[in-house]
A = this chain, B = another copy of it.
Amino acid sequence: MIDKGIIEASNDEREAGLRADYDALAEQLDRRGIDIAGIKDKIAGFGIAIPSWGVGTGGTRFARFPGPGEPRGVFDKLDDCGVIHRLTAATPRVSLHIPWDEADPADLRAKAEETGLGFDAMNSNTFSDQPGQALSYKFGSLSHVDAAVRAQAVEHNLHCIALGREIGSRALTVWVGDGSNFPGQTHLARQFDRYLDATKEIYAGLPGDWRLLTEHKMYEPAFYSTVVQDWGTNYLIAQELGERAQCLVDLGHHAPNVNIEMIVARLARFGKLGGFHFNDSKYGDDDLDTGAIDPYRLFLVFNELVEADGPGFEPMHMLDQSHNVTDPIESLMVSATEVQRAYAQALLVDRAALAGFQEGNDALMATTTLKRAFRTDVEPILAMARLEAGAAIDPVAAFRASGYRAQVAEQRPAVAGGSGGIV
C-alpha cells in the first residue's frame, strides 16, 4: 500500500549522504578491526515482531485519544503492519491477540501473504471480560479460586494454540493480570499453586514444536500482589512446566532500579530466556517507545544477548508499546529501528579486549569498551540495510510522503475519544 515510487523518491534525496556516512564509518570500523558488511548482514537478518494491537492508538485509565485512521479490525491491522515492514524491512512477523484478532485462519493466511508478513507468538487474553463470556475474570483467571473460571481460561489458551497452529505460529505467550489489591485478599501460596496447575494444563496441550512463554510483571492491573510478579517466580514456572516453557522479559515490568540485563544473563544462563517485549519506561509499565528513555539500558540488554548467543539460543523479539500521542505506525517503525540499533552497537563491542579487561579487573577500560561501541553512530549501517532491502532510508519521512495515514483515515471511520477504565 506504499507505492514503490514513494520510497525511491524519498531514498533518492538521501542516498548520497548515506553513502558518505557509510563509507566514513566503514573506514573508521576498519581501523578498529571491524568489517562493516558483516554487521550490516546481521542487521538485515534480524527481525522484530509487531504486536497487532500496537497499530491502534493506546490509552490510559484516564483517557484515550484516538488518531485518524484507527484500524477497525485484524485485517486493517495487518495492512498497517505491512506498511511498517515495507518501509523498514525489519518487522517480518505479527503477533496476534485473541479474541481481539479472532478471524478465519484462511483469511488471516491470505492477508498475511498479501502483506508479506508471517505470524509470531499468539497472545491470550484472560485479563478482561468479553461480551458473552460465561464467567468473569474480575478476581483472576488461571489462578482463580473457582475451578470453572480456571478451566475457562485454560480453554481459551488452548483455543489460541489451535488458531495459531493454523496460521503458522510456533509459540504462545501467557500474561495474566491475576493478583490482588489488598493484603489478605488472596492466599499467596495457594494462588500460585492454582496458577501452576492451570498452566500445566495449557502446557500439556502445547504442540511439540511450540514454546510456551510466560511473562512476569511487578504490578498493574493488580496493585498489591501479582501472581507472576518477577523473574524469580517466572523461572519457577518455566522449571515446573518443562523444557519448552521459557520466560518472557518485558523491559517495563520490573521494580525501580532493577538491573534488567542481569536478569537476562541469568535466564540465558539457565536456558530459560524465551524472548522480549521491547518498550521503554521511566516510572512503571509506561509502554513508551523502545529506547526513548534509556537507550544505554537497551544496549546493555543486547550486550548480554550477543554474549549469550550460540546454538539453541533463540529468544523471540517483539515490540509491546502503547502509542498514546504519536502515530502508531511511525512509533513502531522508529522502535524497530532502535532495537536494531542496540543490536548493531552490541555487535561492535571488542569482545576480546573486553574479556581481557574483565580478567584484569580493569573496570575503567572494560566499561569504556562498551561505551565506545555504544557511542558509535550506527545509523548508516541500519539505513544501508534498509536501502538494500528496498525499504526506506528514512522510514518516517517516506511514510509521511506516502499519504497513507490520510488515505486510511478516509476509509476507516473516525473514533471518538473518551475516558479509560476509571469510570
**A residues adjacent to B (C-beta < 8 A):** 17, 20-21, 24, 27-28, 31, 53, 56, 58-65, 100, 127-129, 131, 136-139, 145, 177, 180-190, 192-193, 218-221, 223-225, 229-233, 235-236, 254-259, 261-263, 265-266, 268-270, 281-284, 286-289, 291-297, 300, 303-304, 307-308, 322, 324-327, 330-331, 334, 341, 354-355, 357-359, 361, 363-371, 374-377, 379, 396, 416-423
Contacts and interface: CB of A to CB of B under 8 A. Distances in A.
A236 B266 contact: yes
Given A236-B235, A296-B296, A416-B131, A24 B28 contact: yes
A308 B189 CA distance: 9
B177 A63 contact: yes
Contact of A420 (B28, B185, B190, B420): B420
A328 to B, nearest CB: 10
B185 A358 contact: yes
Ranked nearest first, the 10 interchain pairs of A and B with the lowest CB-CB distance are: A420-B421, A232-B232, A59-B421, A255-B255, A63-B128, A24-B24, A65-B138, A182-B367, A223-B286, A188-B265
Contacts of A236: 235, 266, 270
27 contacts: A17-B28, A20-B24, A59-B61, A60-B220, A61-B221, A63-B221, A181-B292, A181-B324, A182-B366, A183-B261, A183-B303, A184-B366, A184-B370, A185-B363, A185-B366, A187-B307, A219-B286, A223-B288, A224-B292, A230-B232, A233-B266, A235-B235, A255-B255, A294-B294, A295-B374, A322-B422, A368-B396
Contact of A182 (B137, B231, B289, B416): B289
Contact of A358 (B131, B187, B327): B187
A288 B418 contact: no
A183 B293 contact: yes
Given A145-B361, A187-B355, A417-B138, A221 B60 contact: yes
A185 B287 CA distance: 16
Contacts of A289: 182, 367
Contacts of A334: 364, 368
Contacts of A257: 218-219, 255-256, 282-283
Contact of A268 (B53, B189, B268): B189
A296 B224 CA distance: 13
A364 B283 contact: no
Contact of A293 (B288, B296, B368): B296
A268 B188 CA distance: 11
Contact of A189 (B21, B219, B265): B265
Contacts of A365: 396
Contacts of A24: 20-21, 24, 27-28
Nearest to A25: B24
A367 to B, nearest CB: 4
Contacts of A235: 232, 235-236
Nearest to A380: B28
B27 A129 contact: no
Contacts of A261: 183, 188
B283 A219 contact: yes
Given A63-B127, A131-B416, A363-B182, A231 B229 contact: no
A288 B359 CA distance: 21
A193 B281 CA distance: 26
Max chain B Cβ within 10 angstroms of own Cβ: one of A223, A233, A254, A265 = A223
A232 B229 contact: no
Nearest to A367: B182
A55 to B, nearest CB: 11
Contact of A224 (B58, B64, B288): B288
Nearest to A281: B223
